[in-house]
Amino acid sequence: YLKISKLALAFAIIHSKPPGKSSKEYTEYLAKTVSKQDFGWKWKVEVLEAEVLRLRQELLLNRISPRFCLENRKQDTSAENLLGQESVNPTSYSSQLQDSGCDVCNDSAFDSLGTASDFHQSEHNVNTSKHWLERVPPLNLCHTTKEQSLAAPMHFLRSLLEIRKLSEGGILQADFSKLENDSFTICNSVSQLLDGLTFFYSSPKFPAPSFLTEGVCVLISLITDTALSNHVLKKCFRKMEEFKKNLIQIILRNRSVNRFQALHSVSQTLGLVGKNYVLRNSLVSLLLSEVRQFAEQLLQAHQVQSVYDISQYENMFLLCTILEELLQNETEESNISSSDYGGEEKIKFLKNLDQIILHLSDEFPLFSLYLWRVSVLLNSGQMQ
């Protein structure tokens, strides 16, 4: 039947081909036409899926807190005016984002790991109901489709955080048990946000776009909030692990000449993710594994006098810095040993490390010093 169908199609193409065109050219033309139609349908499906997710997000917010959604709808008419003011005065919008704990227009608010200086303080500030019920306009992400794909999940997750803070301060009643019955919406929203961040970080720019900074702050606020993090992590833990692995590979594989300033924003994001105690252990394990494998490869290349990847060697210092700061900050905050970190990866990292440092110290003194500093933190929990 399939052979007969193909033969019938071939005859139909031959009989219907326009004059001046060969059968092969006409076949290629028809194939391109059908392919374009398929692409159009795929695009329409993606648009409809995005609209369905947006409606599910709105419905879930309404189920959690009908009053919050009602207040936001009342303010919808003024949202465009607020966005118009933002285009004239960019600093006005950052002042409205104090609830997220970060200033999207000023990178100096971040410390060495990219943490906003007032991040923890903002987590406990609950102001008057008038302040909290003001409409925070969605970011103006109208430049590309990928930027638009970040707008919906960021607005939805930021709204969840606002409702959480309002309910914690007794200003608003909210029922977060509804999240248990709609894991699809929150899981897809977080996945969409992570995919969008990964896409833009794959080609990092300096300075990092403000919507990336806002997206990271929303994500970190979400996994730091005790009431919301359980809902997010138990549904999206694998996605978070994939996100961390992708960021590490983005750092290691970048070989552009002026890459270090651009990669700084990627390392900041990894450091921020490591601030969460649930995600920290797995991130430390991933970093230990990458540093150990490279150290072994570098030792082997040094012993046989073969070439090694200089760009990866330079990028490895970013991972070492993140790893050291994560271990150092944890021991300073909790005053306990970091010897429990890493598990199996810690054992592998420390095994034969002294021999590796001994053989590499003459040729690669700085890298050897980093290895030693990390080993001290793993063994004693404090810098000697």
Residues 12-32: what's their mean pLDDT? 84
Judged by phi (left if over 0) then psi (alpha if -120 to 50, else beta), residue 309 lies in: beta
- pLDDT score of 248 more than 90: yes
- pLDDT score of 245 more than 90: yes
Taking the C-alpha atoms of residue 326 and residue 32, their distance in angstroms, rounded to an integer, is 53
Q: How confident is the model at residue 74 (pLDDT cuts 50, 70, 90)?
A: low
Taking the C-alpha atoms of residue 119 and residue 139, their distance in angstroms, rounded to an integer, is 20
- pLDDT score of 253 more than 70: yes
Residues 78-83: what's their mean pLDDT? 41
Residues 298-305: what's their mean pLDDT? 88
Burial 331-369, CB ≥16 within 10 A → b, else e: beeeeeebeebbeebbebbbeebeebbeebeeebeebbe
pLDDT on residue 290: 92
Taking the C-alpha atoms of residue 6 and residue 157, their distance in angstroms, rounded to an integer, is 51
pLDDT on residue 112: 42
- pLDDT score of 129 more than 50: no
Taking the C-alpha atoms of residue 319 and residue 270, their distance in angstroms, rounded to an integer, is 9
Residues 22-33: what's their mean pLDDT? 84
Q: How confident is the model at residue 82 (pLDDT cuts 50, 70, 90)?
A: very low
pLDDT on residue 288: 92
Alpha-carbon torsion (34, 39, 43, 45), positive or negative: positive
Predicted TM-score (pTM) above 0.95: no
pLDDT on residue 242: 92
Residues 90-113: what's their mean pLDDT? 39
Q: How confident is the model at residue 69 (pLDDT cuts 50, 70, 90)?
A: low
pLDDT on residue 70: 64
Residues 180-190: what's their mean pLDDT? 82
Answer with the residue of higher pLDDT: 278 or 304. Answer: 304
Token pair, residue 322, equals 């993140």
Residues 204-212: what's their mean pLDDT? 78
User: What percent of the chain lies above the pLDDT cut of 70?
Assistant: 74
Q: How confident is the model at residue 130 (pLDDT cuts 50, 70, 90)?
A: very low
Which residues face 116 on adjacent strands? Answer: 110
Taking the C-alpha atoms of residue 52 and residue 64, their distance in angstroms, rounded to an integer, is 18
Q: Which of 195, 204, 209, 202 is nearest to 240 (CA)?
A: 195
Answer with the residue of higher pLDDT: 162 or 340. Answer: 162
